[in-house]
Amino acid sequence: MMKKVVIVREGQWGLVKKESYEEFIEILKEILEKAVSPDGKEKIAEVEVVETSAEALLKLRMGGIDTLIFISRDKLAEARQIKKVHRRLKVVLFTGLIPEEEIILVDKGWLLDSREIKHIVLY
């Protein structure tokens, strides 16, 4: 089953330059677009990049979005609000800095294939 993923380009935090966000979006989009079913026979994601949260919300109201991705910590409050209203929607927010006051949830499956566990736990 094809999943519809929308990435919101809007957002910036700290000293990170817009070019860094653009590069991140392109890499993420490529990874998701290359994802295939377990049998390797079909693509499983259709990915669209939108400029703003407002544009993403419009698409969400029209239906058919499975996952909404934000690329900056400054969209955390907005991501929470959207998730609160659209409970079945998967909302993902990428950040380079986990807020200290937040609980960090980590999928146990990442332990086997991620070098980031040390970073999450120790730094």
Residue ranges of domains in the chain:
3-97
| Sequence-distant (≥ 6) Cβ neighbours of residue 67 within 8 angstroms | 3, 4, 5, 6, 89, 90, 91, 92
Q: What pLDDT digit, counting tens, does each position of 10-46 carry?
A: 987 776 777 888 999 999 999 999 988 888 899 989 9
As to burial, measured by CB atoms within 10 angstroms (0-12 exposed, 13-18 middle, 19+ buried), residue 112 is: exposed
Tens-place pLDDT, residues 48-96: 999 999 999 999 999 889 999 999 988 999 999 999 999 999 999 988 7
Which SS3 state, helix, strand or coil, does residue 91 take?
A: strand
Half-sphere exposure of 83 (CA within 13 A, CB side): 14
Q: Which fold is adopted by the domain 3-97?
A: Rossmann fold (3.40.50)
Query: CA 54: distance to chain centroid?
Result: 16
